[in-house]
Amino acid sequence: MGELDLKNLRIDYGARMIIRDFNLAVRNGEMMSLLGPSGAGKTTILKAIAGLLAPAAGDILIDGQSVRDVPPEKRDAVMVFQKPLLFPFMNVAQNIGFGLRMQGQPGREARRHIGAILALTQLEGLEHRKVHELSGGQQQRVALARALVLKPSVLLLDEPLSNLDANLRQRMRELIQTIQSETRMTMLFVTHDQSEALMISHRVALLLEGRLRQVGAPRELFYQPADPEVARFFGGRNFFQGHVRDGKLHSDLGVFPVGPQNGNGHVRTATIRPEDIRIAPRATGQSRGLRGRVVKTRFEGSSTRVVVACGANEVMVLTPEDAFRPGQEVEITVPPEKIRLFPGD
């Protein structure tokens, strides 16, 4: 089992409230990302779950049992830190076996478990190495193995990949995913990297300014952001307002069908992702697009960012073609089905 429930958690740092009214439920066997910009309080929450930090209010439940009064060493939640923090005076196998030894597990059994974890984390053959002889990726794998071997109900991962270079990061991410799907261990993975969170997890919880904004499947957060700030966090641009009338949104960028359930007569905010807008040089013939002029372009390799002035609005477009220059007259098309209309207040 491995259910984690955080109820009305409040965490203070001195007189400052870092986390308030935090509610989150991680299901058994789930890989959940806790995503947020650095300084949002993600690590603080992990430390509270691990017991290294006492919440000012609220409760933490593991498998339905409150662990508020359980010291960290007795909690069934193990934390992997941002830095590997391997014990420098122990070799790889001793580091991995540390937790088992603390629980008084007999040597033979412990060796069997360590052997299995070494295979799982691709560390075979390194068990007698000193930790300073390991590469950064190997060190982080040992840190991971050291936690996994305890088979905790909940594994807490605090940006364990952030100190690795891009290539290694990708491989480690895949390794963690494989391990998770093989062991079905409940994991709470903290990261500030949105693509990492979207790639790795079953569900993502987005934390902005100490508050949980949205929890859901990766595609849900990406395509149906709860509010403009969530959208902005996932690279959303092009926020615009319009008037809803007869199931349609009337805006400067056009009239879009939004379904009958959206209240008539209200001003609402909507967004369209830059990559969803189509852009073309202005044709001489008739067209159904919006007319505009290129303000500036930014070449990003596989795509180019183009800012287009359409009347009073500036629209950002992401296109695979590197064919536009400032001053050029263009035509953009906004596909109505890609419009995201935010719920009203």
Partner 1 sequence: MTSPLTTGADARTRKGPGGVALSLALLPALAVVLILFGGGFALGIVQALGYLPGAGLGEWSLAHFARVLSDPDFLHSFLLTLYIAGASTVIAAGISIPAALGLASLSKRSRVIHFIFQMPLTVPHLVIAIAVMFMLAPAGLLSRAATGAGWIASPADFPLLINDAWGIGIILTYVWKEIPFITLMLLAVLRHTGRDLLDVGRTLKADAWQRFRYITLPIIFPALGAASLIVFAYTFGAFEVPFLLGQTYPMTLPVWAYKHYSDIDLMARPEGIATGIVIALVVMAAVILAQVLTKAARKRGLIA
> Which residues contact partner 1 (rule: CB under 8 A)?
50-52, 71-75, 77-79, 81, 83, 85, 87-90, 98-99, 101-103, 146-147, 150, 156
Q: Minimum distance between the CB of residue 224 and partner 1, rounded to whole angstroms? A: 36
Q: Minimum distance between the CB of residue 94 and partner 1, rounded to whole angstroms? A: 8
Nearer to partner 1, 183 or 269 (CB): 183
- Closest Cα to residue 278, out of 296, 248, 253? 253
Nearer to partner 1, 136 or 281 (CB): 136
Nearer to partner 1, 61 or 295 (CB): 61
Which residue has tokens 């391990």?
Answer: 179
Phi, psi of 143 (to 5 degrees): -60, -40
Q: Minimum distance between the CB of residue 146 and partner 1, rounded to whole angstroms? A: 7
- Closest Cα to residue 278, out of 258, 306, 300? 306
Beta-bridge partners for 12:
17
Query: Which amino acid type is present at position 132?
Result: H
Nearer to partner 1, 70 or 323 (CB): 70
Angstrom distance (rounded) from CA 239 to CA 247: 19
Contact 12, 41 (CB under 8 A): no
Contact 41, 210 (CB under 8 A): yes
Nearer to partner 1, 176 or 244 (CB): 176
Dihedral class, residue 219 (left if φ above 0, else alpha if ψ from -120 to 50, else beta): alpha
Q: Minimum distance between the CB of residue 259 and partner 1, rounded to whole angstroms? A: 49
Q: Minimum distance between the CB of residue 103 and partner 1, rounded to whole angstroms? A: 5
Angstrom distance (rounded) from CA 283 to CA 263: 37
Q: Minimum distance between the CB of residue 14 and partner 1, rounded to whole angstroms? A: 13
Nearer to partner 1, 99 or 218 (CB): 99
